[in-house]
Structure 1
Amino acid sequence: MSKFLIGKKVEMTQKFMTDGRVVPVTKILAGPCFIVHVKNRQKDGYDAVQLGFESTKKITEPIRGHLKNLGPFRFLKEFKIEKNTNLTAGQEIKADIFKEKEKVKVTGISKGKGFQGVVKRWGFSGQPKTHGHKDQSRMPGSLGAGGEQHVKKGKKMAGRTGGEKVTVLNLEVVEVDEKNNFIYIKGAVPGRRMSLLLLQAPGEITFEKKERQDESKEKTKEPAKEQPVKESNAVSDQNQK
Structure 2
Amino acid sequence: MTKFVLGKKAGMTQLFDESGIAIPATVIECNPMFVIQNKTVEKDGYKAVKVATGDIREKLVNKPDKGQFAKAEVSVKRTIREFKTEEDYTLGQEIKVSDMLAVGDHVDVSGVSKGKGYQGNIKRHGQKGGPDGHGSMYHRRVGSMGANSTPARVLPGKKMPGHMGAVNCTVQNLTVVSVDGERGILVLRGAVPGPKGGIVTITSSVKAK
Q: Give the TM-score, by structure 1 length.
A: 0.78
Q: Secondary structure at the match of 2:115?
A: coil
Whole-Å separation in 2 of the counterparts to 1:109 and 1:132? 42
1:120 corresponds to which of 118, 123, 135 = 123
Whole-Å separation in 1 of the counterparts to 2:132 and 2:15? 44
Deviation at 1:128, TM superposition (A): 2.6
Deviations 1:104-134 (A, max 9, x none): 0000000111111111111111123359532
Q: Secondary structure at the match of 2:179?
A: strand
Does structure 1 residue 70 correspond to structure 2 residue 65? Answer: no
Does structure 1 residue 79 correspond to structure 2 residue 83? Answer: yes
One-letter amino acid of the structure 1 residue matched with residue 83 of structure 2: F
Question: Is the deviation greater in 141-150 or in 179-188?
Answer: 141-150
Which structure has the larger Rg?
1
Whole-Å separation in 1 of the counterparts to 2:18 and 2:30? 25
Q: Secondary structure at the match of 1:113?
A: strand
Residue 42 (structure 1) aligns with = 42
Residue 137 (structure 1) aligns with = 139
One-letter amino acid of the structure 1 residue matched with residue 49 of structure 2: V
Paired residues for 1:54-203 under 5 Å? 54-57=54-57, 58=59, 59-68=61-70, 69-82=73-86, 84=87, 86-96=88-98, 97-130=100-133, 133-134=136-137, 136-145=138-147, 147-201=150-204
Question: Is the deviation greater in 119-128 or in 142-151?
Answer: 142-151
Greater than 6 Å deviation, 4+ residue runs: none
Unpaired runs of 5+ residues, structure 2, are none
Whole-Å separation in 1 of the counterparts to 2:174 and 2:168? 17
Q: Secondary structure at the match of 2:43?
A: helix
Whole-Å separation in 2 of the counterparts to 1:141 and 1:178? 54
Deviations 1:116-162 (A, max 9, x none): 1111111111123359532x211111112265222122211100111
Q: Secondary structure at the match of 2:67?
A: helix
Whole-Å separation in 1 of the counterparts to 2:2 and 2:200? 16
Q: Secondary structure at the match of 1:65?
A: helix
Identity rate, percent: 40
Residue 32 (structure 1) aligns with = 32
CA RMSD of aligned residues (A): 1.8
**Matched-pair contact (CA < 8 Å) for 1:127–1:141:** no
Residue 23 (structure 2) aligns with = 23
**Matched-pair contact (CA < 8 Å) for 1:3–1:202:** no
Question: Is the deviation greater in 72-81 or in 124-133?
Answer: 124-133
Whole-Å separation in 2 of the counterparts to 1:202 and 1:123? 29
From the superposition, tell whether residues 9 and 16 of structure 1 become closer, same or farther in structure 2 (CA, over 3 Å): same
Unpaired runs of 5+ residues, structure 1, are 204-241
Residue 224 (structure 1) aligns with = none
Q: Give the TM-score, by structure 2 length.
A: 0.89
Q: Secondary structure at the match of 1:67?
A: helix
Higher strand share goes to which structure? 2
**Matched-pair contact (CA < 8 Å) for 2:103–2:178:** yes
**Matched-pair contact (CA < 8 Å) for 2:114–2:165:** yes
Whole-Å separation in 2 of the counterparts to 1:133 and 1:41? 65
